[in-house]
């Protein structure tokens, strides 16, 4: 964990150059309490800071939640380092810089400071209303819950920190709490958040870029599914059914990504013309990106095998069954790109301006939002929960609703089978709709932890490994479920003497 001096340095770097009002923030801390937490405007700036802190973690969230999925293959970009390679070959060491969690806890510290200190401004500024404060407090609790949800899915056991760093004299030697304790803490925060967050906002950037009650419900449904509490997940998803009438038609599918903030959106990190630059284009853009090239490409082996299985009869470059996602220049640019070290498809949905033709985002339009939740993911969560309750017909209805909105023929009853077979098909369906959006490794892990379903993860990660590692080698690395979670970085162990490395990683 960072001491207060490091915290201030990180925050000053994080917010340098943020020009947009949404990102115009100052540093709240007890070291400057004589000047801070005095009025409504300072509280508003601090609220914006909690959101801005997400930006500093988006790359690491993408790495933790997605790139171990077999959808990915390394791109030619210089930013694809050996640390990223370890993730893709499932051989991760405690020295890997991508398992450092300092920036996530820095964001949590910002939130903790807001929760503790923002209420003081009520007594100091008569223009600041209790109702407005409570709404912002709900946003803070939800953002803290979201941060811990990423941590617990990546590491399983993590320290729970509720107090902000307020002076150099503070010491934080905190042992990791159990997964159950962390999830309970997350749910407590979400319960608080749901009670006070706004139902909606008039401003479009606030509507999709700030926490609303529906964003809380989406996060909470995800947590319930992680905990295998299927009916509780369904109950939360049912409260989001209003989005069904707002799903975009097949011809408008690409608008989910450009311009974004579609009618199906639930929560997106807002990248605007001023302020921070979105990292998404740099991750996936090859032909029109900077000279360093893309960090990630799509694994053509995985896409070809799974596409042919899901949508037969087809051929790789001309999927006749899917008129949206699988046409050239929709999700992918389906001409393999060859480069030193491999080949892959460009992930066009992240970098394109219009579908089905070569039209990349211009330099002034590359600030693609980062999508945390959209409604089609909620439908997939429902399908998964229903299947686990042996309600397969209802589960297939959710899949068919998504297919219909992509002009894909509906599944016939029972086509996805049951048990592990259903989950294998579900994960493939998810990948074609939600692939590269940050969570497919988390989802595969969630499914594989259920009794009798570990084969889902072993098969997906071993058979189509993008770096050509032998199936037996990758499978051996993944046989122990503890390998599905990350090690604590060696620096975290040095700074926190109460943190003990996991047994699986002690000899690495």
Kindly report, residue by residue over 217-271, the tens digit of the pLDDT: 999 999 999 999 999 999 999 999 999 999 999 999 999 999 999 999 999 999 9
Q: Is the model more confident about 443 or about 8?
A: 443
Rounded Cα distance between 220 and 235, Å, is: 10
pLDDT score of 156 more than 80: yes
pLDDT score of 309 more than 90: no
pLDDT score of 99 more than 50: yes
pLDDT above 70 covers a percentage of the chain that reads 87
Q: Supply the pLDDT for residue 171.
A: 63
Helices 375-388 and 392-404: crossing angle in degrees, nearest 10, is 160
Q: Please give the DSSP secondary-structure letter assigned to residue 464.
A: T
Kindly report, residue by residue over 444-498, the tens digit of the pLDDT: 999 999 999 998 888 777 666 767 777 788 888 999 999 999 999 999 999 999 9
What's the whole-model pTM score? 0.92
Q: Supply the pLDDT for residue 89.
A: 92
In the beta sheet, which residues pair with residue 198? 212
Q: Please give the DSSP secondary-structure letter assigned to residue 489.
A: P
Kindly report, residue by residue over 419-444, the tens digit of the pLDDT: 999 999 999 999 999 999 999 999 99
Q: How confident is the model at residue 19 (pLDDT cuts 50, 70, 90)?
A: very low
Kindly report, residue by residue over 355-413, the tens digit of the pLDDT: 998 899 988 889 999 999 999 999 999 999 999 999 999 999 999 999 999 999 899 99
The phi and psi torsions of 75 (rounded to 5 degrees) equal -90, 180
Q: Supply the pLDDT for residue 168.
A: 55
Q: Are 463 and 69 in contact (CB under 8 A)?
A: no
Q: Supply the pLDDT for residue 319.
A: 57
Q: How confident is the model at residue 313 (pLDDT cuts 50, 70, 90)?
A: low
Give how far Cα 276 sits from Cα of 54, 181, 367, 424, 473, Å: 11, 34, 9, 38, 41
- Average pLDDT of the chain is 88
Q: Supply the pLDDT for residue 169.
A: 56
Kindly report, residue by residue over 165-206, the tens digit of the pLDDT: 776 556 678 999 999 999 999 999 999 999 999 999 999 999
Q: For the sheet with 342-347, list strands across it.
A: 72-74, 296-298, 342-347, 332-339
Q: How confident is the model at residue 302 (pLDDT cuts 50, 70, 90)?
A: confident
pLDDT score of 288 more than 80: no
Q: Supply the pLDDT for residue 272.
A: 86
Q: Supply the pLDDT for residue 286.
A: 72
pLDDT score of 291 more than 50: no
Kindly report, residue by residue over 338-368, the tens digit of the pLDDT: 887 788 999 999 999 999 988 999 888 899 9
Q: How many CA atoms lie within 13 A of 40 on its CB side?
A: 10
Q: Is the model more confident about 6 or about 79?
A: 79
């Amino acid at each position: 964990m960072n001491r207060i001096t490091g915290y201030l340095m990180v925050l000053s770097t994080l917010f340098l150059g943020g020009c947009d009002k949404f990102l115009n923030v100052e540093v709240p801390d007890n070291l400057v309490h004589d000047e801070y937490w005095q009025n409504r405007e300072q509280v508003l700036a601090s609220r914006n800071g909690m959101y801005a802190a997400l930006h500093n973690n988006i790359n690491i969230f993408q790495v933790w939640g997605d790139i171990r999925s077999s959808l990915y293959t390394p791109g030619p970009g210089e930013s694809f380092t050996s640390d990223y390679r370890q993730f893709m070959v499932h051989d991760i060491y405690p020295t890997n810089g991508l398992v450092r969690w300092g920036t996530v806890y820095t964001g949590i510290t910002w939130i903790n400071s807001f929760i503790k200190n923002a209420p003081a401004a009520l007594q100091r500024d008569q223009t600041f209303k209790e109702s407005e404060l409570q709404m912002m407090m709900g946003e803070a609790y939800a953002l803290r819950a979201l941060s811990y949800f990423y941590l617990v899915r990546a590491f399983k056991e993590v320290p729970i920190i509720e107090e902000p760093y307020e002076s150099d004299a503070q010491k934080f030697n905190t042992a990791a709490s159990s997964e159950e304790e962390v999830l309970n803490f997350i749910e407590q925060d979400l319960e608080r958040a749901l009670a006070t967050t706004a139902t909606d906002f008039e401003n479009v950037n606030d509507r999709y870029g700030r926490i609303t009650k529906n964003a809380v419900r989406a996060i909470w449904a995800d947590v319930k599914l992680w905990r295998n509490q299927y009916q509780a997940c369904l109950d939360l998803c049912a409260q989001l059914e209003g989005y069904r009438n707002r799903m975009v038609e097949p011809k408008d599918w690409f608008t989910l990504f450009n311009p974004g903030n579609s009618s199906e959106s639930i929560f997106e990190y807002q990248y605007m013309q001023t302020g921070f630059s979105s990292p998404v284009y740099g991750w996936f853009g090859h032909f029109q990106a900077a000279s360093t090239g893309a960090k990630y490409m799509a694994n053509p082996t995985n896409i070809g095998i799974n596409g042919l299985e899901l949508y037969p009869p087809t051929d790789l470059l001309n999927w006749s069954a899917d008129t949206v996602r699988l046409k050239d220049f929709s999700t992918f640019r389906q001409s393999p790109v060859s480069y030193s070290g491999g080949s892959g498809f460009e992930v066009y949905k992240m970098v394109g301006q219009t579908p089905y033709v070569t039209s990349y985002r211009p330099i002034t339009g590359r600030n693609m939002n980062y999508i945390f939740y959209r409604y089609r993911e909620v439908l997939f969560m429902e399908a998964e929960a229903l299947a686990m309750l042996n309600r397969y017909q209802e589960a297939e209805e959710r899949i068919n609703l998504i297919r219909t909105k992509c002009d894909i023929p509906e599944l016939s009853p029972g086509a996805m089978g049951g048990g592990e077979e259903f989950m294998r098909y579900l994960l493939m369906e998810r990948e074609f709709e939600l692939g590269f959006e940050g969570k497919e490794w988390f989802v595969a892990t969630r499914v594989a932890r259920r009794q009798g379903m570990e084969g889902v993860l072993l098969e997906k990660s071993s058979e189509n490994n993008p770096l050509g590692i032998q199936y037996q080698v990758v499978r051996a690395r993944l046989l122990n479920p503890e390998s599905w979670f990350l090690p604590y970085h060696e620096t975290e162990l040095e700074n926190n003497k109460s943190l003990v490395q996991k047994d699986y990683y002690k000899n690495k």
